[in-house]
Amino acid sequence: MDPGGGYTRSPCRVEQESQDLAGADTHEMNRAFRSEDNELGDVFIAPRAPLPPGTANYVTPRGMRLLKEEREALEKERDALQQGDPHDHDRIRRRTLVSGQLAALRERMATARVIDPSGQPTGEVRFGARVRVSITGGPLDGAVKDLRIVGVDEAGLRTEDVSFTSPIARALSGHTPGDTVRISPDPSAPQYEILSVDYDSTDGEE
């Protein structure tokens, strides 16, 4: 998704991208950091939310604020772990874990491209949009849901937040109210009718 210009994708193309993303998730590996005490072995760091290769790391202003808060919390914990018994294996392992998490976070933040939703054109689904959809078919038949298209590290923090790399976000991208999309070529798959599109200048802060 180009945050400055939406595009329309065919259902088949969206389905293929969904499969590609699933494959990327499957091959995402944990990162290993060597503990300061070699006797403790490697400490494995859970990967951050996957970002497909070659995809820009778009984040909302709220998302960047949350990343900075996470960095501050990790730095504070790391500094606290510098104190205490230098032979405490649990403390050493925890400090190694926190240092690894901090390294991964800094790496992610270094590539972040902040997109302010308030600067996006109204009426078309792009990055940062809040989209209201009506669902036809499937287990949610008849439901009306609000979705907000955000960065990969923000997705899931609120129930309406979906990553811009997700199949539903890609399917909606570039469309306007009144359009109907599917994320599967199966004619029996649910359809999503776009009821409204807007961009909140407060970026959804509550």
The domain segmentation of the chain, as residue ranges, is 11-22+119-198, 28-114
Strands 57-59 and 112-114: parallel
User: Of 45-59, 85-99, 101-115, which range is least confident?
Assistant: 85-99
Closest CA relative to residue 200, chosen from 152, 140, 142, 158: 158
CB neighbourhood size of 143 (10 A): 12
CATH 3.10.50.30 applies to domain 11-22+119-198? yes
**∠ CA(16), CA(17), CA(22), 5° rounding?**
100
Report the SS3 class of residue 163. Answer: strand
Over residues 139-148, the mean pLDDT reads 95
Cα 18 to chain centroid distance, Å, stands at 15
Distances (CA, A) of 13 to 18, 79, 167: 9, 48, 10
What is the rounded CA–CA span in Å between residue 89 and residue 40?
Answer: 7
What is the rounded CA–CA span in Å between residue 116 and residue 120?
Answer: 7
Q: For residue 19, name the pLDDT band (cuts at 50, 70, 90).
A: very low
Residues 6 or more apart whose Cβ sits within 8 Å of residue 39: none
Report the SS3 class of residue 187. Answer: coil
User: Of 1-5, 61-65, 151-155, which range is least confident?
Assistant: 1-5
Residue 41 phi/psi, 5-degree rounding, is 75, -165
Q: What pLDDT score does 115 carry?
A: 94
Its pTM stands at 0.76
Q: Does 14 or 116 have the greater pLDDT score? A: 116
Q: What pLDDT score does 32 carry?
A: 53
Q: What pLDDT score does 188 carry?
A: 87
Q: For residue 71, name the pLDDT band (cuts at 50, 70, 90).
A: very high
How many Cα atoms sit within 13 Å of 10 on the Cβ side? 4
Q: What pLDDT score does 26 carry?
A: 31
Over residues 133-153, the mean pLDDT reads 95
What is the rounded CA–CA span in Å between residue 40 and residue 34?
Answer: 8
What is the rounded CA–CA span in Å between residue 128 and residue 147?
Answer: 10
